[in-house]
Every structure is written in C-alpha cells, then in structure tokens.
Amino acid sequence: MSNLGTAGAKRSATHLLKANAWFVFAFLYVPIVVLVVFSFNDSERVNVWQGLSARWYGEALGNTQVISALRVSLIVAISSTIVSTVLGTAVALALDRYRFKGRRALDGTVYLPIVIPDITMAVMLLVFFAEAFKLIDTFGPRLTLGVTTVALSHIAFNISFVAVVVRARLDQFDRTLEEAARDLYATPWRTFRRVTLPLIAPGIAAGALLALTLSLDDVVISAFTAGPGATTLPVYVFSTIRQGVTPELNAISTLMLAASITLVVASLALQRPRSTTP
C-alpha cells in the first residue's frame, strides 16, 4: 500500500519536473522565436501582421548608420579577439603549470572582470581613460575616446574569459604526453609546439570564439568608452530601442541573433570532449 503510494508520488514528481523543464525551455526560446517571426512582418506597425517579407532586412542593410556601426563592431571584435586570445592563453598556461611570484594575485584578479557588473567596469575604464588622457596630453598629443579605447576595453574583459576557457581545457590535459615528448629529447619549445599546442587548440579556439561573441554583444562598456564616431552595433541598437520598437530593429536584432548563435554552436562543438565526437 505504502509502496504504491510512493510510486505514485514519484511519478507525479517526475511529471512536475518534466513540466517545469518544458516551461523553462519555452521561457528561454519563445521570446526569441516571436522576435524572429515578426522581423519578417511586412507591416509598418510592429503589432499588425501583414504577411511575410524581407523588407525590413533591406531597410536595415541600406541604413548607413547601421553599416558603419557594424564596421566598428567588426574592427573592435576582431582586434580584441586576437590580442585577448594570445594574452589569455598565456595567462592560462602560466597559472596551470608554473609557480611564480604574484601567481596567487593573478589567479584572484583574473576572475574579477567576469563577475564585475558591466556598468562598474564601464565607468572604471571611463575614469581611467580620462586620467590617462590628461597625463598624455601634458606630453603633447591630444587623445580622445574612439575605436581604440573600445578595443582596449574589450581586451580587458576578454583576457579573463579566454583564460578561463583555456584553463578548463588544460585541466583535462594528459600530462604524460608531454613527459613522453621530453623523454624522447624534445626541447621544451618543441614539446609545446608539437604536443601541448595541438592538444589545447580546441580550447583556444573555443576561447577565441567566446571572446568574439562577447565583444560583438557588449553594449555597456562600449557605450562608455566610445567617442561619438565609434558607435558599435549593439550601442546603436540600445540607443534606438529607447526611442521605441521599430520593425527595422527587429530585423537587425534577428541578424545579430543569427550571428551569435552561429558562434555559440561553433564554440560548443569545439569544446566537446573528443570521445563523444563521432
């Protein structure tokens, strides 16, 4: 009798868990799907469905402000990804396998840019650039905020994300392979080039893709460290949303969504452990 009761309770608990899971997935995906569907709406008014059309995509891509913001975004994202991937990988390697002075301090600091709220990091960097410019101005050149300051700021948070992703990969690393290479008289550099690097390459690539994604997504830090001529696409979208929702904004958002989903899927595929890949 009591057995039957617990079995019944267990079954209803499982049903509840399942229902909750469906609810969470719906919660995560429905708003995105609705946005994508309505981006193909022909109507001028966002709430009236008037038939399928790619009209707003045409309008968005014909908008010079959008195109120039996209250009800035790509320049910032690509340059900051390259620099932060190199520096972040080096930090991960150093933290994973070397003892050196200041290791603990670096270990503690490297996670902070990930946890700190965007707005705090943004105003910190704004103050920093203001002070740095004041200092540099006394030597002659007059500097202003622009694409460079945005890229420098993006590198600052991306180093941390790359370091964390690469370090996770190094954790699963089979150290005996390196020892084997060394036993066979490979120099440290050769061991690194021929053994370590190929083994952690998927981790580095995943870190780079993540950095690219985060740079393309960032709005707050970009908004505060960009001058008037360095509006990135998210900053453009953010300032436009505040004036209201337009169908063109739906189209731009859908394009940004497609770009970031592509990058995420690529990154997840790279991070998958070897054994599960067919």
Interface of this chain with another protein, residues 223 to 242, rule: CB under 8 A: 224, 234, 237-238, 241-242
Neighbouring residues of 188: CB distance < 8 A, sequence distance ≥ 6? 182
Whole-number Cα distances in Å, 134 to 53, 137, 149? 52, 5, 15
> Rounded to whole angstroms, how far apart are CA atoms 169 and 177?
15
**Exactly one of 75, 82, 87, 186 binds another protein (CB under 8 A); which one?**
87
Whole-number Cα distances in Å, 35 to 18, 149, 260? 26, 33, 15
* Number of H-type helices and E-type strands within the chain: 13, 0
How big is the site for another protein, counted in residues (CB under 8 A)?
94
Q: Is 137 in the site for another protein (CB under 8 A)?
A: no
Q: Is 111 in the site for another protein (CB under 8 A)?
A: yes
Backbone angles phi, psi at 212, to 5 degrees: -60, -45
Neighbouring residues of 54: CB distance < 8 A, sequence distance ≥ 6? 40
Q: CB 53 → another protein: shortest distance, Å? A: 18
**Exactly one of 34, 52, 67, 197 binds another protein (CB under 8 A); which one?**
34
Q: Which of residues 48-77 bind another protein (CB under 8 A)?
A: none
Q: Is 139 in the site for another protein (CB under 8 A)?
A: no
Q: Is 136 in the site for another protein (CB under 8 A)?
A: no
Q: Which stretch binds another protein (CB under 8 A): 56-64, 74-82, 124-132, 167-175?
A: 124-132
Q: Is 204 in the site for another protein (CB under 8 A)?
A: no
Q: Is 128 in the site for another protein (CB under 8 A)?
A: yes
